[in-house]
Amino acid sequence: MVEKKKVDVNETPVKAKTVAKTKEERHKSAMPQRIIAIVFWLLAFACEIAAILVLNKTLYVGDAQKQMIWLIGLLVADLILVIIGSQFWKKGNDIDPASEKNKAKYFLQNQMGLIVSVICFFPIILLLLNNKDLDKKTKRIVTAVAAVALLIAGLFSADWNPMSEEEYKKTVADYSTTEIYWTRFGHSYHTSKDCPSLSRTTENNLFHGSITEALEAGRNDPCDFCVDQS
């Protein structure tokens, strides 16, 4: 894990020394992130299975009201677990991106969180829609909860700005001796501390380090103001 350093205004930053890690090293350091992601996703899937069992009353939890509370509770747990898993998965991809050469693998690796979201919500939505046993109100509420959960899970699990292995290598090579800046909430990396887009960033929210540290932090979008994109 790379420790993010805070920028001290009084300190002139030392030239960043980027130790370019090999693909194997990066693959190895991304492995724990990916394993944790899969564990969370499996737990999420288990919540969906439990919800299905409650829905078809294989698992009896009580009257209609109790059944609804259990269904909603399991769907919320499902949602939280999917999203946590996806953040670990994306972190793994930030460290060890997929190559663009294999289009299918590139898509699968980057959008695995989105696929998992569908797996963890779509089956129960179908079962809910086809269920003739639930009372109308419960059916409406639980289906709406599941649909919104699928939407939120998808939004937070999709990788909206994936970087390929090729882009990663080029970026690291281009900025191997440049001190890079990034913020707590943004997706961009900056090559200048005086970048206009950083003017409102407080010291506490500004970090600096090597390009590999910025990319590992998920800051893979070159700033439109300070990064020369020619």
Query: Taking CB under 5 A as the criterion, which residues in 191-210 touch Zn ion?
Result: 195, 197
Asked whether the beta carbons of 165 and 144 are under 8 A apart, the reply is no
**Residue 221 found at the interface with Zn ion (CB under 5 A):** no
Q: Phi and psi of 112, rounded to 5°?
A: -60, -40
**Extended beta strands in the chain, E state:** 5-6, 180-183, 188-189, 206-209, 221-222
Q: Supply the minimum distance, in Å, between the C-beta of residue 86 and Zn ion.
A: 28
How far apart CA 187 and CA 110 sit, in angstroms, is 16
**Residue 47 found at the interface with Zn ion (CB under 5 A):** no
The window from 12-20, 55-63, 88-96, 185-193 that contacts Zn ion (CB under 5 A) reads 185-193
* 215: CB partners within 8 A, 6+ apart: 94, 95, 163, 168, 171, 172, 189
**Residue 223 found at the interface with Zn ion (CB under 5 A):** yes
Which one, 149 or 227, has the nearer CB to Zn ion? 227
DSSP H or E stretch at residue 163:
none
Q: Supply the minimum distance, in Å, between the C-beta of residue 173 and Zn ion.
A: 20
**Residue 30 found at the interface with Zn ion (CB under 5 A):** no
Q: Supply the minimum distance, in Å, between the C-beta of residue 93 and Zn ion.
A: 23
Selected from 26, 190, 208, 219, the binder of Zn ion by CB under 5 A is 190
Which one, 131 or 192, has the nearer CB to Zn ion? 192
How many residues interact with Zn ion (rule CB under 5 A)? 6
**Residue 219 found at the interface with Zn ion (CB under 5 A):** no
End-to-end CA distance of the chain: 32
DSSP H or E stretch at residue 150:
helix 136-157
Q: Which residues bind Zn ion (CB under 5 A)?
A: 190, 195, 197, 223, 225-226
